[in-house]
Amino acid sequence: MASIPFKPLQPTQFQFQLQLYSSTILLNPFKLHTTLPRISSSIHVTHVETTEQEISHTRRDSKTNSNENGSGFSSFTPKYKRVDSGQENGAKRVVLKDRNAKLKPKRRTSESSSSSSTNNNKAVESKKSKIDSTLRIGLDMCSKRGDVLSAIRLYDLALLQGIVMGQYHYAVLLYLCASAATGLIHPAKSGSGSRTLNAPNEPSSHNNSNEFNVIDHDSHLLGSSTVDEFVQFMKSSAKRCNLQSVRHDDSGIKVSEDVRHYALTRGFEIYEKMLSDKVQMNEATLTSVARMAMALGNGDMAFHVVKKMKEDGINPKLRSYGPSLSVFCNNGDVDKAFIVEQHMLENGIYPEEPELEALLKVSIEAGRSEKVYYLLHKLREGIRQVSPSTADLIAKWFNSKVASRVGKRKWDVRSIHKAIKNGGGGWHGQGWLGNGKWTVSRAIVGSDGCCKFCAEKLVTIDLDPEETEKFAKSVASIAAKRERNSSFQKFQRWLDYYGPFEAVIDGANVGLYSQRKFRPSKVNAVVNGIRQMLPSKKWPLIVLHNRRITGDKMDEPFNRSLVEKWKNADAIYATPTGSNDDWYWLYAAIKFRCLLVTNDEMRDHLFQLLGNDFFPKWKERHQVRFSFSETGPVFHMPPPCSIVIQESEEGYWHVPIASELESEEERTWLCIRRANSPMANQDSSTVNISKNVGDPTHKCPPTSSDPPHNQGDARSSTRRKNQVKVTGKTHGSHGRELKAAEELGSCVVDFQI
């Protein structure tokens, strides 16, 4: 073993010793220009002398060693240059001089010194920028792959190299640690991962060879000693070190128990480091901390993090509340769960179905009937159509003993009727009505709006005229700001002059149906078809971009004749160049409260500006979808009733279940009634009430095929006629007398023992 000492350095510099082990030069594992934080990394090596025989022998051994090295890095740029310096004792002497060694300072003018200082500062800044960029690229790679262990390794290397990390770096690190701590990593592009209301996944009892394991994964990464080397290693060996060491499924990447514990421990350590470095927090980083608290099962800590956001002037998001809400709901703590919900509402955050479903589940398990009733109306207001899992929860509640014991035996019929009228129809919100067991069945609603199980006519909930007018002004305001040269204001004046219209056609959507080339003949077919269905037989309004009615194709005689016919009828409006025709046909349909013929689902960012409150209700009432058959266009008119949870005057419920079906007549509903109600006590020869809620094969009673044409007395009389027809099979005239007696006495006559 030979030792070659460096010459002594200044106190602010490092003193290194280069040693030869088995004639092989071993370098410091960290590059000399990037060492520990806050310490000068300038290294001065004036000269290091050795013989040429030693160097050649060293090169041979070093090359052999490099080929055997499994770290993935077999070569490096020589640090020293070779300079001959004559003979000594028969052997040529070689001087190795540091390529980066500082030369003796020369005399410089003040201008040259200033220029040199500026250049040095630029070089330092450029170097810092490159390192920061490399670290960011590496963390992004880890985030996209869900590779938490490599991300933590990058963090450790960055600390050793003295790299100053910012908010973005910490956001990605904390997101990955929080995801791994819950047992399931969702690969994402950045630290803004999706929220979750699920409890941490149960760890497996043994380490699965396909799971993300901290020891197996990290053992072959130790050869990389800098951020730059490590990122290059990740790029060159992605399949070997990442893709083969994790197990993917539809829900994410599952990790082993040791990774969960390791990620949780390091996650809180990284959070503490972020605090000590006084890096500014944001919603993403604090939400990740709340998720780590969820992994610990500490709902109070997770909720405290959300409250800290408000104290620090950070606006929480819906996902920020997920961890605390999940812990309280899974622990059965109803009161704390609803405290979280109240905090959400106070900060303008409205729960969506995952949050409401979690609250509903814990309320049902606790037997809190008032909370269940409250949540059913929350689902009615915000969700309208529930998912199959939420529908199963609702059925579970109504089949429970607690549900059968709650409800008013007497109530004021007139106050219920007034509440329904004031609410626009379809609900009263006055609490549970009636008592006794419930029957829960699955049914469909016919084209006449009648439930084919109980024959009750579901209602079309009225849209508030003032709310509709406000909505029209909102659309006009947004469109006017986005359209140029007062184009939209000209359209508004055109509508005032040529309107009103009973239907509006989205011409581009119709003309491009199932093809790439625009065909005016399809627009003409839809115009003629919908025109025959309108009471006045008046021409509908066709809205088209002006490029659709110009060009070589439109110069063909047939196409030109169609456009001229529409122009002569004042039935077409061509939007100008640079405009978005979506705003034009939407505003016209809202202004005239008429039908809108389009298959556009209106889900893109433009329509998101309109909000999720009134717009879905309006679209349900006015949108006409279409298709084409061999005989011509087929129109799918708006549903005969509002597709929303409905609560009747008698306290019964109909709950629509969300589906991807094109026809509303195929949608499944939950039909929920008291077991002692006349409809539920029908003869089994007429209706086969399935004991299995999931069985949709039950028979439905016959209903009237003639749909009512207005929403007033005709609807009520149709419902009474259907009820009399069905209940008369069992009770004869007693059913009508019983209902009359209940209305007269403002009570419920219950014969159940």
Angle at 526 between CA 521 and CA 530, to 5 degrees: 150
- CA atoms of 465 and 591, how far apart (whole Å): 11
Q: Helix or strand or coil: residue 368? A: coil
Output the pLDDT for position 224.
Answer: 57
Whether the pLDDT of residue 753 is over 50: the answer is no
Give the tens place of pLDDT for each residue, 367-415. Answer: 999 999 999 999 998 888 999 999 999 999 999 999 999 999 899 999 9
Give the tens place of pLDDT for each residue, 437-465. Answer: 999 999 999 988 999 999 999 998 878 78
- Confidence band of 513 (pLDDT split at 50, 70, 90): very high
Output the pLDDT for position 140.
Answer: 87
Residues 6+ apart with CB under 8 A from 714: 708
Q: Could you tell me which residues are beta bridge partners of residue 443?
A: 669
In the chain, where the domains are located: 351-460+640-677, 465-632
- CA atoms of 595 and 226, how far apart (whole Å): 65
As given in the structure block, the two tokens for residue 608 are: 């998101």
* Rounded average pLDDT over 311-321: 93
Output the pLDDT for position 462.
Answer: 75
Block residue for tokens 């705003």: 583
Q: Could you tell me which residues are beta bridge partners of residue 120?
A: none
- CA atoms of 20 and 6, how far apart (whole Å): 13
As given in the structure block, the two tokens for residue 707 are: 């749909």
**Element containing residue 52 per DSSP (H, E):** helix 52-68
Give the tens place of pLDDT for each residue, 666-688. Answer: 899 999 999 887 655 443 333 33
* Rounded average pLDDT over 586-615: 83
Q: Which CATH class is domain 465-632?
A: alpha beta
- CA atoms of 286 and 623, how far apart (whole Å): 42
- Confidence band of 730 (pLDDT split at 50, 70, 90): very low
Whether the pLDDT of residue 345 is over 90: the answer is yes
As given in the structure block, the two tokens for residue 542 are: 């066709």
* Rounded average pLDDT over 96-111: 50
What phi, psi does 252 have (nearest 5°)? 145, -160
- CA atoms of 297 and 475, how far apart (whole Å): 46
CA 227 to chain centre: 32
- Confidence band of 183 (pLDDT split at 50, 70, 90): confident
Whether the pLDDT of residue 50 is over 60: the answer is no
Whether the pLDDT of residue 187 is over 80: the answer is no
The residue type of 716 is: S
Weakest mean pLDDT among 400-404, 620-624, 722-726: 722-726
Q: Which CATH class is domain 351-460+640-677?
A: mainly alpha
The residue type of 439 is: T
The residue type of 669 is: W
Output the pLDDT for position 121.
Answer: 61
User: What secondary structure does DSSP assign to 407-473, as a single string?
Assistant: SBSB--HHHHHHHHHHTTSS---S--BS-S-EEEEEE-B-TTSBBTTT-PBPP-PPPPHHHHHHHHH
- Confidence band of 120 (pLDDT split at 50, 70, 90): low
CB 151 within 8 A of CB 260: no
Output the pLDDT for position 659.
Answer: 82
Contacts for 72-80 with beta carbons within 8 Å, 24 or more apart?
72/223, 72/224, 72/233, 72/236, 72/237, 73/223, 73/224, 73/229, 73/233, 76/27, 79/27, 79/32, 80/45, 80/48
As given in the structure block, the two tokens for residue 258 are: 């040791």
CB 485 within 8 A of CB 576: yes
CA atoms within 13 A on the CB side of 163: 26
Output the pLDDT for position 635.
Answer: 94
- CA atoms of 222 and 224, how far apart (whole Å): 5
* Rounded average pLDDT over 262-272: 95
- CA atoms of 116 and 123, how far apart (whole Å): 10
In percent, the amount of the chain with pLDDT more than 70 equals 63
Whether the pLDDT of residue 543 is over 60: the answer is yes
Output the pLDDT for position 691.
Answer: 33
The residue type of 105 is: P
Nearest Cα to 620, choosing from 645, 646, 606, 640? Answer: 640
* Rounded average pLDDT over 643-657: 94
Report the sign of the C-alpha dihedral through residues 655, 659, 664, 665, in that order.
Answer: negative
**Element containing residue 95 per DSSP (H, E):** strand 91-98
- CA atoms of 28 and 32, how far apart (whole Å): 8
* Rounded average pLDDT over 61-80: 42
Output the pLDDT for position 222.
Answer: 47
As given in the structure block, the two tokens for residue 509 are: 């959507």
- Confidence band of 702 (pLDDT split at 50, 70, 90): very low
Q: Could you tell me which residues are beta bridge partners of residue 247?
A: 254
- CA atoms of 84 and 69, how far apart (whole Å): 31
Output the pLDDT for position 665.
Answer: 77
As given in the structure block, the two tokens for residue 60 are: 């041979």
Whether the pLDDT of residue 642 is over 50: the answer is yes
* Rounded average pLDDT over 205-222: 43
- Confidence band of 482 (pLDDT split at 50, 70, 90): confident
Output the pLDDT for position 255.
Answer: 83
Whether the pLDDT of residue 25 is over 80: the answer is no
pTM above 0.75, yes or no: no
Give the strands of the sheet with 80-88, arranged side by side.
48-51, 91-98, 80-88
**Element containing residue 49 per DSSP (H, E):** strand 48-51
Q: Helix or strand or coil: residue 685? A: coil
Whether the pLDDT of residue 421 is over 70: the answer is yes
* Rounded average pLDDT over 546-564: 85
In percent, the amount of the chain with pLDDT more than 90 equals 43
Whether the pLDDT of residue 601 is over 70: the answer is yes
Output the pLDDT for position 531.
Answer: 95
- CA atoms of 507 and 598, how far apart (whole Å): 8
Do 351-460+640-677 and 465-632 come out as alike in CATH topology? no
* Rounded average pLDDT over 1-26: 34
Output the pLDDT for position 414.
Answer: 92
Block residue for tokens 């050795």: 50
Output the pLDDT for position 386.
Answer: 95
Continuous H helices in 161-282: 167-181, 214-218, 227-236, 238-241, 257-276
Nearest Cα to 224, choosing from 147, 161, 136? Answer: 161
Greater model confidence, 260 or 217: 260
Give the tens place of pLDDT for each residue, 78-98. Answer: 444 444 445 444 444 444 444
CA 423 to chain centre: 31
Block residue for tokens 């027809």: 725
The residue type of 59 is: R
CB 423 within 8 A of CB 615: no
Whether the pLDDT of residue 718 is over 80: the answer is no
Whether the pLDDT of residue 534 is over 80: the answer is yes
* Rounded average pLDDT over 250-265: 84
* Rounded average pLDDT over 273-278: 93
- CA atoms of 27 and 403, how far apart (whole Å): 76
As given in the structure block, the two tokens for residue 217 are: 């994964």
